[in-house]
Chain A
Amino acid sequence: MTPLPAAGLRPVRLERDPWDRLLMETDDGQQFSGVAPVRAFPVSDPDHWISICDPHGQEILRIDDIHDLSLELRRTIELELSQREFTPVIHKILSATHHEPSEWFVETDRGRTTFQLNSEDDVRRLGPDQASIVDVHGIRYLILSVRALDGASRRILDHFL
């Protein structure tokens, strides 16, 4: 396992093989199988700094800006990312109980769900206007803009932030 120079390499082909593994060919003709795209800044800058890693988690190359890629490559990567990352984005908080463990009932971009928190500390502020919530199972929920939530949701969230 020799570390490869991450800079310089560019992907030219990305496709799924019959075993649902991702195959990548780089501009110098190398082929990699079972690669995975990983975002370095999934919250603060999701469209930049995307690493393509081998099955051991070693970085093969890095895409500085996803918009630099061809539409086809970009689609494949975004699809792959959306399948790998499971962080529902909360649009609306319907209710949350105050006693521990706190039980939440929310509407997300992936539908309605309920979850439990370990402690109030699991609701964290990210930057000035974002928040993340981790439930007892380690599933993470994101709130992309606290200000954009409706009043009732914000009031509930204020108790925890």
Chain B
Amino acid sequence: MLDANETLLAWFEPDLDAQLNFSQGLLLLTDRRIVSLAESDQELESAPGNNGQSTGKAWPHSAETTLAAKEKGGASALQLAGGRGLLAQWRHTHARSKAAHHFVDRWKLLRSGQPVDTGLLESSEALCPSCGSPIKGEQGFCEVCASLPATKPVGSLLRLLRFARKRAGVVTLGIVLTVAGTAASLVPPYLTKPMLDDVLIPYQSPQHEGAKLYLIPWLLGGLAVASVLSWILSWARTYVVAWVSERIASDLRNQTYAHLQKLSLEFFGGKRTGDLISRVSTDTDRICYFLSVNLLDFVNDVLMIVMIAAFLLWTDVRLALATLVPLPVITYLVHEVRSRLRNGFQLGSRAWADMTSVLADTIPGIRVVKAFAQEHREVDRFRHANDRVLHANDRVNRLWSFFGPMITLLTDGGLLIVWIVGVWQIYNNNLKIGTLTVFLAYINRFYMRLDSMSRMLSATQRAAASAQRVFGVMDREATVAEPVHPVHPGRLRGRIEFRDVAFRYGTRPVVEGINLTIEPGEMIGLVGPSGSGKTTMVNLACRFYDVAEGAILVDSTDVRSFVIEEFRKHIGLVLQEPFLFYGTIAENIAYGRPEARREEIIAAAKAARAHEFILRLPDGYDSLVGERGQSLSGGERQRVSIARALLIDPRILILDEATSSVDTETEREIQLALDNLICGRTTIAIAHRLSTLSRANRLVVMERGQIVEVGPHQELLDRNGLYARLYRAQSESPEDRQL
């Protein structure tokens, strides 16, 4: 279908037809034309007008044609336009949006006359099945989708070995102690055999014939030594294993939390706080318990079973085989129940996380709950979540309550078989009483171990589910990646340039075509209706997210090439809701620079006009604030957060609705504090109240993700556009007239 010397530059597969029914198409971009191929050519050929889905056709490139990817309601369209109107359009779902944009990019590249790398048909990259964005990295999962990668539960448990390797010495010691302890505990039953066969039974026979009485002190001494040895060993083993597992769990917790801190804001946006808290705390704790208690028991049991089985087979093969008859049945039962239990525990774990989420949700929001008198509803919500925990656990318990006694019944059956075979053998004089006694003693232990091993099952499944949840966090890659060849920002001047910036949240475009240059020391006011992309702009500038298209340059360097941590040190952020951590005021002010001297802290507080109110607090700068600390008013908290931003002396300052949650009087105070902060720094201020932007050099008016107006206040008023409308609307509202 292509000419011999025509080169394919890109392709795109639209997945809808003109009536928005699912239908696979194929669009090719070559160096000469755009070619469209579809499965159902004939039907679509008859689509009315040139607005319909066009297939099996080709459009040679010309100076007039333009290609654009447009969002059209629930489905998107790739539109090809000529001089007199639309030539063709191909509809596709949002799943293909990224690919469509990519196709357009290739086309633009071709049009601009730049060489298009034919070897790199990026649309052929592996695409995520759920969102269609290309899959990057070796991990093989989509970073855009918030779904956590699925790992096998038991595989997750094995990954814990990596943490154990660091403490291999202690782990080995634990294993050696376990083997020795188990062996020691097997000695006493063994000693009963000579005791019965060589001493007691001959002694009770009418002539005391052949009774080796001299063995008695040795045997009794042996029993005593074995008991003491077994006690010491099991004590040492328990301690060592608990010590090492506690450390493994602690490493795991630290690493999970450290990784969590590295993840982008996007990740936190999609996750419930309670769920994350329980992953770091409850799940790691469960793993620790599993390692120190259950795993120890398990290893112990396995060793015991192997040793006993070996011993039994060595003493009497026939009797040994007889005792092992119920074993296959038990193995089958264990296998059967295992998968059901695992599902049950996962369900339980999720239900538990849901329940903690309710708590994490309502306790901080308690004022809203009370204000709307919704306590009963919240109680219901909690009860509902709690009921789910109950049901999940009930399910597991039902299975469990049947399974446990069933195992006991089978082991009892095994014992009975030993008795029957043993009695019969003794009747036939093939077996000594001592041997049977040893057998019974061992077989009792054997089944006891088997029983406790089957109980292990639930613990293993529970721990495996926990490990899976913990590694689920660890396997997430940060969307905002550290650069391969990082640039150290050094001292920034603070020139910010947005160059053709676009950002999509999933496939929804949030900002598009942003071009803006902010000079060092300039103050920019971002204005616009909510949802117009103002906060996205600052999030992009802070590199909380990375741009989808274009670039943000600070001092002519792409922000993506800076070391993130060093770059953010140059950014001062003052938010609408200032967040104070639990700690003293001094610690909060010095949050970005913990090594700051007291003098500097006071100076920052003074500049932020916080010094005076801090002195009035009973403990001055040593007063505890934050959750469960002294409560401060909104304006006071805001001034502490301004002092915090001042102390790091940032080159770039971002004020996201810094004054909108306080009254006008406090606002004036804060404004004075902010004036000290802004001075000489590149500032991007978002404000709802336009009057607070009076110091801005330029105002940038945004609407629906695009910049519509840029200029100083008076110029924009004269232009009589969106800004003028917003300004008039506000100056008419009585609340702000006094300003």
**Any A CB within 8 A of the CB of B367:** no
A48 to B597 alpha-carbon distance, docked (Å): 12
Report whether A59 and B611 are in contact in the complex, using a CB–CB cutoff of 8 Å.
yes
Contacts of B606 in A (CB 8 A): 6
User: Interface readout for A86-119 with B: 1 if CB under 8 Å, 0 if not?
Assistant: 0000000000000000000000000000000000
Q: Which residue of A lies closest to B606 (CB)?
A: A6
**Any A CB within 8 A of the CB of B9:** no
- Contacts A57-B612, A57-B616, A59-B612: A43 and B622 contacting too (C-beta < 8 A)? yes
Q: How many whole Å from A11's CB to the nearest CB in chain B?
A: 17
Report whether B620 and A41 are in contact in the complex, using a CB–CB cutoff of 8 Å.
yes
Q: How many whole Å from A56's CB to the nearest CB in chain B?
A: 9
Report whether B622 and A44 are in contact in the complex, using a CB–CB cutoff of 8 Å.
yes
Q: Which residue of B lies closest to A53 (CB)?
A: B615
| Among B602, B619, B621: residue with most chain A CB under 10 A | B619
User: Interface readout for A37-59 with B: 1 if CB under 8 Å, 0 if not?
Assistant: 01111111100110101000111
Q: Which of A40, A124, A126, A140 contacts B615 (CB 8 A)?
A: A40
Could you say which interface size class chain B belongs to? Answer: 10 to 19
A43 to B619 alpha-carbon distance, docked (Å): 7
User: Interface readout for B612-635 with A: 1 if CB under 8 Å, 0 if not?
Assistant: 101110111110100010000000
Looking at chain A's contact residues, the main secondary structure is strand
Within 134-152 of A, Cβ neighbours of B (below 8 Å) are at 140
User: Interface readout for B466-487 with A: 1 if CB under 8 Å, 0 if not?
Assistant: 0000000000000000000000
Contacts of A124 in B (CB 8 A): 624
Contacts of B586 in A (CB 8 A): 41, 44
A51 to B599 alpha-carbon distance, docked (Å): 13
Within 12-58 of A, Cβ neighbours of B (below 8 Å) are at 38-45, 48-49, 51, 53, 57-58
User: Interface readout for B577-590 with A: 1 if CB under 8 Å, 0 if not?
Assistant: 00000001010000
Q: How many whole Å from B616's CB to the nearest CB in chain A?
A: 5
**Any B CB within 8 A of the CB of A121:** yes
Contacts of A140 in B (CB 8 A): 618-619
Report whether B615 and A51 are in contact in the complex, using a CB–CB cutoff of 8 Å.
yes
**Any A CB within 8 A of the CB of B598:** yes
A49 to B599 alpha-carbon distance, docked (Å): 8
Contacts of A126 in B (CB 8 A): 584, 622, 624
Contacts of A57 in B (CB 8 A): 612, 615-616
Report whether B622 and A49 are in contact in the complex, using a CB–CB cutoff of 8 Å.
no
User: Interface readout for B34-76 with A: 1 if CB under 8 Å, 0 if not?
Assistant: 0000000000000000000000000000000000000000000
Q: Which residue of A lies closest to B618 (CB)?
A: A140
Report whether B612 and A41 are in contact in the complex, using a CB–CB cutoff of 8 Å.
no
Q: How many whole Å from A66's CB to the nearest CB in chain B?
A: 14
- Contacts A41-B586, A59-B611: A49 and B618 contacting too (C-beta < 8 A)? no
- Contacts A39-B620, A40-B620, A42-B622: A48 and B598 contacting too (C-beta < 8 A)? yes
Contacts of B616 in A (CB 8 A): 57
A64 to B612 alpha-carbon distance, docked (Å): 16
Contacts of B620 in A (CB 8 A): 38-42
Q: How many whole Å from A9's CB to the nearest CB in chain B?
A: 15
A38 to B612 alpha-carbon distance, docked (Å): 11
Q: How many whole Å from A44's CB to the nearest CB in chain B?
A: 5
Q: Which residue of B lies closest to A45 (CB)?
A: B598
- Contacts A49-B602, A121-B628: A40 and B612 contacting too (C-beta < 8 A)? no
Q: Which of A42, A51, A64 contacts B619 (CB 8 A)?
A: A42
Report whether B628 and A41 are in contact in the complex, using a CB–CB cutoff of 8 Å.
no
- Contacts A48-B598, A58-B612: A41 and B618 contacting too (C-beta < 8 A)? no
Q: How many whole Å from A142's CB to the nearest CB in chain B?
A: 10
Q: How many whole Å from B363's CB to the nearest CB in chain A?
A: 14
Contacts of B615 in A (CB 8 A): 38, 40, 51, 53, 57, 59
| Among B599, B616, B621: residue with most chain A CB under 10 A | B621
A59 to B611 alpha-carbon distance, docked (Å): 9
Q: Which of B602, B618, B624, B628 contacts A40 (CB 8 A)?
A: B602
Contacts of A48 in B (CB 8 A): 598
Contacts of A64 in B (CB 8 A): 599
Q: How many whole Å from B41's CB to the nearest CB in chain A?
A: 73
Contacts of B624 in A (CB 8 A): 124, 126, 132
A126 to B628 alpha-carbon distance, docked (Å): 13
Q: How many whole Å from A35's CB to the nearest CB in chain B?
A: 13
A140 to B617 alpha-carbon distance, docked (Å): 12
Contacts of B621 in A (CB 8 A): 40-41, 44, 49
Within 64-90 of A, Cβ neighbours of B (below 8 Å) are at 64
A49 to B622 alpha-carbon distance, docked (Å): 12
Contacts of B584 in A (CB 8 A): 44, 126
Q: Which residue of A lies closest to B582 (CB)?
A: A124
A45 to B619 alpha-carbon distance, docked (Å): 11
Q: How many whole Å from A73's CB to the nearest CB in chain B?
A: 20
A80 to B584 alpha-carbon distance, docked (Å): 25
A59 to B613 alpha-carbon distance, docked (Å): 10
Contacts of B602 in A (CB 8 A): 40, 49, 62
Q: How many whole Å from A146's CB to the nearest CB in chain B?
A: 16
Contacts of B622 in A (CB 8 A): 41-44, 126
Q: How many whole Å from A135's CB to the nearest CB in chain B?
A: 13
Contacts of B618 in A (CB 8 A): 140
Q: Which of B598, B619, B628 contacts A49 (CB 8 A)?
A: B598
Contacts of A51 in B (CB 8 A): 615
Q: How many whole Å from A39's CB to the nearest CB in chain B?
A: 6
Contacts of A121 in B (CB 8 A): 628
Contacts of A59 in B (CB 8 A): 611-612, 615
Q: How many whole Å from A51's CB to the nearest CB in chain B?
A: 6
| Among A39, A41, A45, A58: residue with most chain B CB under 10 A | A41
Within 546-586 of B, Cβ neighbours of A (below 8 Å) are at 584, 586
Contacts of B628 in A (CB 8 A): 121
Q: Which residue of A lies closest to B630 (CB)?
A: A134
A140 to B622 alpha-carbon distance, docked (Å): 13
Q: Which A residues fall within an 8 A CB radius of B?
A: 6, 38-45, 48-49, 51, 53, 57-59, 62, 64, 121, 124, 126, 132, 140
5 nearest CB pairs, A to B: A43-B622, A40-B620, A38-B615, A121-B628, A40-B621
Name 29 interchain pairs, CB-CB below 8 A, sorted by A: A38-B615, A39-B620, A40-B598, A40-B602, A40-B614, A40-B620, A40-B621, A41-B586, A41-B621, A42-B619, A42-B620, A42-B622, A43-B619, A44-B586, A44-B621, A44-B622, A45-B598, A48-B598, A49-B621, A53-B615, A57-B615, A59-B612, A59-B615, A64-B599, A126-B584, A126-B622, A132-B619, A132-B624, A140-B619
Given contacts A45-B598, A57-B616, 14 further A-B contacts (CB under 8 A): A38-B620, A40-B598, A40-B621, A42-B622, A43-B622, A44-B584, A44-B622, A48-B598, A49-B602, A57-B615, A58-B612, A64-B599, A124-B624, A140-B618
